[in-house]
Structure 1
Amino acid sequence: MFQPIHFTHANGIPAGSYAKFFQAFDAKYKIKAIPVLGMSAQFPVTYTWSHLVSQVIQDIEQQFPNQQVIGLGHSFGSLVTLMAAYQRPDLFSQLVIMDPPFVIGPKSAIFEGMQKLRLKAVDKITPAAITLKRNDCWQSFDEAYVALRHNRLFKNFDQECFDDYFAHGIQADEQRGGVTLSIPKHVEAHIFRTVPAWWWRTPRKAPNMPVHLITADQSHFYKQGLPQGMKKTYGIEFSVVNGGHMFPLEQPEVTAQCVQKIINLQAVKKGDS
């Protein structure tokens, strides 16, 4: 009997980019993922990400009918999965969230107010402004490959993971000619600027299932103390691996082994094994 895992990808990184990470899981796991989150007119990117959460819930119900899944996500995807678990705990047996962009602490209420007022400062506080300044058009696939391979975001990617990202993340640009991003940078920026910040006024506890967070020693979220804050406020334990925020694509096989170890430990604690 396989164990179902539902995965949700990071912002701007299509799920196909994680193929090597998925392949490193034991055969007893069956992993399904939404190919691209945030690109459906039926589930638009809005304040609080409510439609994106609904998309994850619907996909779980369709991919794994009448089953509880192990919720697994990276960055933006891990936060959407966590939100889905709060809304529909009956769908999940446990969660493993990898470096979520969790907005907590005394400044979260101020940030939420800025979002409601749609202040331009939100773009400067989040990665939205940098995202919008990125080049998103190249004359050819070869030019895009060279430019992106040396980009700060991708330079530490495992080679196969980068090739998979390139295969799914770059496409022909029908309007401008050449090639462009499969997930437009304005969509990626909008996701950044609408990251939920209302956690300061929610029930301060984890959803009713085992939850574990994985972060990395070079992640800016870890350096800012966000996993530590989640443990203190929500009781969510965390582990630290080597690498940066994109560690599942920098060390896919090591990360897969870490995730499986956590899944097994959580199952034992829950009494599922």
Structure 2
Amino acid sequence: MTKTVVYFAHANGIASPCYQTFFDYFDADIELKYIPVIGLNPDYPVEPKWEKLVAQVIADIELQAPKQAVVGLGHSFGALVLLMASYQRPDLFRQLILMDPPFVIGKSAPIFELLQKLGSKKIDRLTPAGLSLKRKDAWSSREQAYQQLRGNALFKQFDERCFQDFIRHGLREDEAGISLQIPKQVEADIFRTVPSWWWRWPRKAPNLPVHLITAEQSAFYKQGFPQGLKKIYGIEFSVVAGGHMFPLESPEQSARDVQQRIRS
């Protein structure tokens, strides 16, 4: 039996293997593909508009799923990259499921885009870039990293297994000890360069089924981003319990919700 290929793209700062517990709840008839880390390949650097990152994902889908269209499943940064890829290459996708993408839209979007073009330092305050640069990024051991990160606002609501996945796959060994798998400078650069033209272009959904899943406590939901996306782009959304990191807070339920969308 031919399996359904789900191509996954991760959130900024959270490498794909960190989602292993979430992946484990997918049924056997689903085959997951992904790039372990988007943004570290020198052939596809982080640049304004994310064009090279989108190109990296397109090239990888062509390589890993050459014979069938995939279900694109992205979280946050990864969701937006897949959405952008679908406009360029709709033939690669049969469906898109976007988990809480950072979709800059609404009354403040034109100002945000202008600040980006001007290279304003305010972008670091309007996005998580400033917080990323302040993050501690070096530890003597994984045990120390666990103790210092577990209570962090980003990780506090993680399922314990998902947090263990982050400690295992989101960190790496180096000469000094342990550091972030995705350097905080790269993470900040991705936040700073988030595409902000959505308020003016293309103002229509890609030519394939698209559904957005957001969360009750997500800042994006509270700011009305999914609502604006539905109004302007006609993309429907559903709301689940939890925060922006809901796939890692409730991995079993999140996997169930995603698979329900795939089979609907």
TM tier, shorter chain? Answer: over 0.9
Where does residue 194 of structure 1 map in the other structure? Answer: 193
Give how far 1:98 is off: 0.1
Query: Is residue 142–residue 167 contact of structure 2 (8 Å, CA) maintained in 1?
Result: no
The answer for the alignment partner of 2:142 in structure 1 is: 141
- 1:56 pairs with 2:67: no
TM-score (norm 1): 0.94
* Runs of 4+ that moved beyond 3 A: none
Does the residue aligned with 1:212 lie in a helix, a strand or coil?
Answer: strand
Aligned to 1:13: 14
- Amino acid across the alignment from 1:11: N
- Partner SS state of residue 198, structure 2: helix
Structure 1 unpaired stretches of 5+: 266-273
Question: Which residue identity lines up with residue 224 of structure 1 in the other structure?
Answer: Q
Deviation at 1:142, TM superposition (A): 1.3
Structure 1 residue 207 corresponds to structure 2 residue 206:
yes
Q: Deviations over 1:116-149 (max 9, x none)?
A: 1211111111110111011111222211111111
Residue 44 of structure 1: SS of its match in structure 2? Answer: coil
Query: Identity, % of aligned pairs?
Result: 61
CA distance in 2, matches of 1:173, 1:132: 19
Per-residue displacement from partner, 1:218-264 (whole Å, max 9, x unpaired)?
Answer: 11111111111111111010111100100000111100110111111
Secondary structure of the corresponding residue to residue 36 of structure 1? coil
Cα displacement (A) at 1:180? 1.0
User: TM-score w.r.t. structure 2 length?
Assistant: 0.98
Paired position in structure 2 for 1:125: 126
- Residue 172 (structure 1) aligns with: 173
How far does residue 20 in structure 1 lie from its aligned partner after superposition? 1.3
- Aligned ranges for residues 23-102 of structure 1 at < 5 Å? 23-102=24-103
- Structure 1 residues 5-58: Cα deviation after superposition (integer angstroms, max 9, x where no partner): 100000000000111111111111101011000111000000000000001100
Between the aligned partners of 1:54 and 1:248, the Cα distance in structure 2 is: 25
| Deviation by residue 1:63-89 (Cα, 9 ceiling, x = unmatched) | 000310000000000000000001110
Task: Check conservation: 2:39, 2:53, Cα contact below 8 A.
Answer: yes
| Structure 2 partner of 1:112 | 113
Residues 17-26 or 92-101, more deviating: 17-26
Residue 107 of structure 2 aligns to a residue whose secondary structure is: coil
SS at match of 1:240: strand
